[in-house]
Amino acid sequence: MPQNHPLLLFREHLTPLKHFSARDLEQRLREADIPDLILLDVREPWEFDICAIPDSVLIPMGKISQHLDSLDKDAEIVVICHHGIRSRSIARYMEQQGFRNMINLSGGVEAWAREVDIDMPTY
DSSP 62: G
110: left (phi over 0), alpha (psi -120 to 50) or beta: alpha
- Contact between 40 and 57 under an 8 Å Cβ cutoff? The reply is yes
The Cα 110–Cα 67 span in angstroms is 25
Phi and psi angles of residue 76, each rounded to the nearest 5 degrees, phi first: -80, 125
DSSP 43: S
- Could you tell me which of 20, 1, 3 has the C-alpha nearest to residue 12? 3
Active-site residue, 81 included: yes
Identified catalytic residue from 40, 59, 79, 81: 81
Residues serving a catalytic function are 81
